Amino acid sequence: MTPGPGVHRTLLPKGFSASGVNCGVRRYRPDIGLLISDVPSVAAGVFTLNQCKAAPVLFCQKILPADNIFAILTNSGQANAATGTEGVERNLMMIDATAKALNCQREQVLVASTGVIGEQLHTDKILPSIPELVDRANDAAESFALAILTTDLVPKTITTSLNLSSGPIRITGISKGSGMIHPNMATMLGYILTDAKINKEYAHKVLKTATDLSFNMISVDGDSSTNDCCFIMANGASGVELKTAEDFAAFEKAVNEISIFLAKSIAADGEGATKLIEVTVKGSDDLEMARKGARGVTLSPLIKTAIHGEDPNWGRILARLGAEQVPGEQLAKMTLTMQGVKIFENGQPLTFSKPDLKALLKQSNVFIEVDLFSGTQTATAWGCDLSKKYVEINTEYS
Amino acid sequence: MTPGPGVHRTLLPKGFSASGVNCGVRRYRPDIGLLISDVPSVAAGVFTLNQCKAAPVLFCQKILPADNIFAILTNSGQANAATGTEGVERNLMMIDATAKALNCQREQVLVASTGVIGEQLHTDKILPSIPELVDRANDAAESFALAILTTDLVPKTITTSLNLSSGPIRITGISKGSGMIHPNMATMLGYILTDAKINKEYAHKVLKTATDLSFNMISVDGDSSTNDCCFIMANGASGVELKTAEDFAAFEKAVNEISIFLAKSIAADGEGATKLIEVTVKGSDDLEMARKGARGVTLSPLIKTAIHGEDPNWGRILARLGAEQVPGEQLAKMTLTMQGVKIFENGQPLTFSKPDLKALLKQSNVFIEVDLFSGTQTATAWGCDLSKKYVEINTEYS
């Protein structure tokens, strides 16, 4: 796999093109992007569980999964959430303009928005720019990946090729999200494109599994957005179908890996973050509990600040696992390691060299591993440290 | 009511005395405190739901409620959590020394600890200081209130007198907790003392109700400690029994108010906090949902940083309520006010003066009110803003 960004280009799968331009909602940066499939494409989506859903989320939820989608439009700077009926209308105006430019139907265009909640879309700026978006589309992901960013420091793209039994396919992933971090600039967005030939039910299943392992296991600040969504589009342009068990396994593994790569990129790019934290809870008798425990550790401001300070503050990890209701009898026999150093075992703290562990915590990737010795379930979650920069960015918005 | 601290003394109820000394665990500050009842006292407690419970918590949970308690010992600086069997033994050593000094049984002494998790208690320093604690006890709460602090900036005490149908009683409250804020210095502790004559079942019921309205509705950083506990002791030394319905109502109201005062003091003293945030969700058809919604808003780092920046960032409040699963149809008809300014109504953002609201947010108390127009349930939660100082304190521990 070739992770982006860099001087290289992230090539899209066959039959896809992408673009991004500045329409004037933001001062200079590209603020509107388009992904296009030359042919009607299978598409599926997973969406925020927030009860306050943005207009574009409600629109896409109604349509997906589908097998006749031509494009995904995305604007950044305005979330079109908590905008009432006018927000719904302006969302449709944006979609209709895209459908017109692509010469297709309203129901063949998907849409996502990210930015300030509660502001009406600047359709006066967005609508006139849509034909330009269509004109500028090319075979690389970069322009789109840049246009969808909010407080992210880097665009997030990755692409891979697989040789399946009937031929080669490509899968490309693009995401944005610096956590749900800026008080006005929210949202995690993910896009996975492939030229493999699959049906919409399978697309949805693969996407659901991949997001549960990846985007649903990251957190920067514990707030879940009104606009979160992740899409998969499979246009079949390679002509290659998945046929053998190996084909399916290889495809699913690649989508999972791409999703995890994109998710980790989001956590590492968390506002003010200096370290990526990876927490694995294994040996659990309950997958949901393992997930909850691992996520809980990545959510704790106490653990996040301790890691920012490179402080081997392991007691807080145990406390958080207990707060997440990992059963007491499992905590009593668990082992805890940080950066590979075993710290706690059989209900007792171990003797270890604090200076040595402090030195290991200077690395930009911090690994925390918990083994509960109670079963075979494992979950991994990713987060980032909490720095003064986070507070600065989120305090000094106005 | 006379809230502490100040130059005045917080008088204890009849038959109670208190003390605090430095035993050498911390460099200068008092680090061990004792509350004593002259006569065997009714006592009840509520404890952390964390599955990783400190040794003192496990000890008290076994004993309470009870009607023959003489004292509550509390040490600060070390939590005696995640300390294994040796921690259990050291906890008993501390209790036995206190029982000996007070000439009572082990089961007549309660204990609480707060501080670093995973360190064994310095019993070599604590045990020799216990007789001094007994000798120094006097009728004011201050010395004890100081001895139990960790990263708190101010001690938290309050006292009130009630004239019940059969005579006067006094109720005194003491707490500590700067949230569960410092990576090593955790814990919320609460103590309510009264000379009223009540039984242990009633004591437990009153305490449970009060903590649900107060301590369980505050949050500074969302981490719940291994050592949280709140005690009530009622020694009957006033000779006054609760007899009439008015007596019970007045007593319960006073305990609730004292608990809320103490809880708000903790939230306002959250590490790095400059503002107390009060969030009320009313008009709910589900008390648990109202509580969850109100608490969710106080937990959101995005809302906390926005308020720190005096930024009227209301979209994030709506998003958080949705993330807490307040039903979408209720969000669609809710009203939202900040500092009394109505911002959102009937699914639509309202026009309001941002500069005026920004000016109102300069106040040190910030009020957020949500009316869901769906029922009669109301819940209030308290929290604080999130500043760079919080990160500084928690990062720079080592």
**Tens digits of pLDDT across chain B (398 residues):** 444 444 457 899 999 999 999 999 988 889 999 999 999 999 999 998 888 899 999 999 999 999 999 999 999 999 999 899 999 999 999 999 999 999 999 999 999 999 888 889 999 999 999 999 999 999 999 899 999 988 777 888 999 999 999 999 999 999 988 755 433 445 689 999 999 999 999 999 999 999 999 988 887 665 667 888 999 999 999 999 999 999 999 999 999 999 999 988 888 888 788 899 999 999 999 999 999 999 999 988 889 988 999 988 888 899 899 989 999 999 999 999 999 999 999 988 898 998 999 999 999 899 999 999 999 999 999 999 988 888 887 776 54
Residue A332 has pLDDT above 80, yes or no: yes
What integer is the mean pLDDT of A175-199? 76
> What does B53-115 look like in DSSP terms, one character per residue?
--HHHHHHHHH-SEEEEEEEEEEEEE---S-HHHHHHHHHHHHHHHHHHHT--GGGEEEEEEE
Q: How do beta strands A348-349 and B32-47 pair? A: unpaired
Q: Which of B85, B184, B388 sits opposite A315 (nearest CB)?
A: B184
| Residue B223 to residue A300, Cβ atoms within 8 A | yes
A50 to chain B, minimum CA–CA distance in Å? 4
Question: How close does chain B come to A114, measured CA to CA in Å?
Answer: 13
> Who's near A245: CB < 8 A, 6+ residues apart?
none
Q: Assess contact for A280 and A380: CB atoms under 8 A.
A: yes
Sequence ranges of the domains in chain A: 2-268, 276-395
Closest residue in B to A386 (Cα–Cα) = B391
Element (H, E) at A280: strand A276-284
Tokens 């490509």 found at:
A170
Give me the amino acid identity at B112: A
Tell me the CATH architecture of domain A276-395.
Roll (3.10)
Contact (Cβ atoms closer than 8 angstroms) between residue B73 and residue B148 = no
Tokens representing B330 are: 């209720």
Return all residues near B215 (Cβ < 8 A) that are at least 6 apart: B175, B188, B190, B228, B230, B259, B262, B263, B266
Test the B interface: residue of A88, A305, A310, A396 with most B CBs within 10 Å: A305
* pLDDT digit string, tens, across residues B100-132: 999 999 999 999 999 888 889 999 999 999 999
Q: Is there a contact between A261 and A154 (Cβ–Cβ < 8 Å)?
A: no
Closest among B129, B106, B107, B118 to B32, alpha carbons compared: B129
**Which residues fall within 8 angstroms of residue B334, CB to CB, at 6 or more apart?**
B283, B321, B344, B345, B370, B371, B372, B373
User: Are B323 and A223 within 8 A, CB to CB?
Assistant: yes
A374-394 burial, b if ≥16 CB within 10 A, otherwise e?
beebbbbbbbbbbbbebbbbb
Do B2-268 and B276-395 show the same overall fold? no
Q: How far apart are CA A215 and CA A207, in angstroms?
A: 11
> Which range is least confidently modeled, A60-69, A318-327, B101-110?
A318-327
CB contact (8 A) between residue A315 and residue B395? no
Reference B98, options B123, B133, B63, B124; nearest CA is B133
Q: How far is B258 from chain A (nearest CA, A)?
A: 27
The predicted structure's pLDDT at residue B106: 97
Q: What is the pLDDT of residue B366?
A: 95
Phi, psi dihedral angles at A237 (to 5 degrees): -65, -20
User: Chain A residue closest to B316 (CA)?
Assistant: A183
For position A390, what pLDDT does the model report?
A: 81
Residues of chain B with Cβ-Cβ distance to A325 below 8 Å are 49, 51
Confidence of residue A273 (pLDDT cuts 50, 70, 90): confident
Q: For chain A, give the percent of residues with pLDDT over 90.
A: 69
State the Cα–Cα distance between residues B80 and B57, nearest whole angstrom.
10
CB contacts of A348 in chain B (<8 Å) are 83-86
Nearest CB to B394 within list A302, A344, A392: A302
Q: Which of B394, B396, B397 to mutate to test the interface with A (most CBs of A within 10 A)?
A: B394
For residue B388, the model assigns a pLDDT of 86
Where does residue B245 rank: exposed (0-12), middle (13-18), buried (19+ CB within 10 A)? Answer: exposed
User: Is pLDDT above 90 for A29?
Assistant: no
Complex-level ipTM: 0.71
What pLDDT digit, counting tens, does each position of B358-396 carry? 999 999 899 999 999 999 999 999 999 988 888 887 776
The tokens of B145 are what? Answer: 């209130």
Q: What is the pLDDT of residue B182?
A: 38
Task: Summarize the confidence of residues A369-381 as an average pLDDT.
Answer: 97
Distance CA A267, CA A189 (A): 13
Contact criterion met (CB < 8 Å) for A302 and B181 = yes
Nearest CA in chain A to B392: A388
Q: How far is A309 from chain B (nearest CA, A)?
A: 4
Other C-beta atoms within 10 Å of A28: how many? 7
Across the interface, whether the CB atoms of A81 and B180 are under 8 A apart is answered no
Mean of the per-residue pLDDT values for chain A? 90
Nearest-Cα distance to chain B for A80, in Å, is 11
Other residues' Cβ atoms within 10 Å of the Cβ of residue A124: 10
CB contact under 8 Å between B222 and A226, yes or no, is no
Minimum-distance CB partner of A311 among B183, B226, B323: B183
Report the pLDDT value the prediction gives residue A109, as an integer from 0 to 100. Answer: 98
Nearest to A117 among B300, B310, B315 (CB): B315
pLDDT tens figures, A205-222: 999 999 999 988 887 665
Q: What is the DSSP letter of A175?
A: E
Distance from CA of B89 to the nearest CA of A (A): 13
Instruction: Closest CB to A391: pick one of B84, B85, B387.
Output: B387
Active site residues of A: 187
Put residue A257 in one of left, alpha, beta given phi > 0 → left and psi -120 to 50 → alpha.
Answer: alpha
Cβ–Cβ below 8 Å for B223 and A316: yes
pLDDT value at residue A396: 63
Residue B331: which of A52, A116, A119 has the nearest Cβ?
A52
pLDDT (tens digit per residue) in A358-367: 999 999 899 9
Instruction: Please list every residue in chain B whose beta carbon sits closer than 8 Å to the beta carbon of residue A88.
Output: none
Q: What pTM, to 2 d.p., does this model score?
A: 0.79
The 10s digit of each residue's pLDDT in A111-132 is: 999 988 888 999 999 999 999 9
Residue indicated by tokens 């600060």? B76
* CB-CB under 8 Å, B323 with A394: no
pLDDT band at A2 (very low <50, low <70, confident <90, very high): very low
pLDDT at A151: 74
**Binning pLDDT at 50, 70 and 90, where does residue A86 land?**
very high
Q: Which chain B residues contact residue A320 at CB under 8 A?
A: 223
CB atoms within 10 A of CB A168: 13
Q: Given an 8 Å threshold on Cβ–Cβ distance, is B184 in contact with A392?
A: no
Residues paired with residue A116 on neighbouring β-strands, in sequence order: A78
Sheet with strand A377-384: strands edge to edge? A348-349, A341-345, A335-338, A365-371, A276-284, A377-384
pLDDT at B2: 46
Is beta strand B341-345 parallel, antiparallel or unpaired with respect to B335-338?
A: antiparallel
Q: What is the pLDDT of residues B36-45, one digit of tens each?
A: 999 999 999 9
Kindly state the tokens that stand for B184: 């090593």
Q: Which CATH architecture has domain B2-268?
A: 4-Layer Sandwich (3.60)
Contact B121, B227 (CB under 8 A): no
Could you tell me how many CB contacts below 8 A there are between chain A and chain B? Answer: 238
Place of tokens 């879940």: A224
ω into B5 cis (within 30 of 0): yes
Cβ distance B179 to B148 under 8 Å? no
Quote the pLDDT of residue A347.
Answer: 87
Looking at the predicted structure, is the pLDDT value of residue A227 above 90? Answer: no
Q: Between chains, do B51 and A322 touch, taking CB under 8 Å as contact?
A: yes
Residue B312 to residue A26: CA distance in whole angstroms: 21
User: How far A38 CA sits from the closest chain B CA (Å)?
Assistant: 36
The pLDDT, as a whole number, for residue B90 is 98
For residue B299, the chain A residues in CB contact (below 8 A) are 222
Bridge partner residues of A46 (DSSP): A230
Query: What integer pLDDT is reported at residue B185 of this predicted model?
Result: 41
Catalytic residue among B187, B280, B298, B337: B187
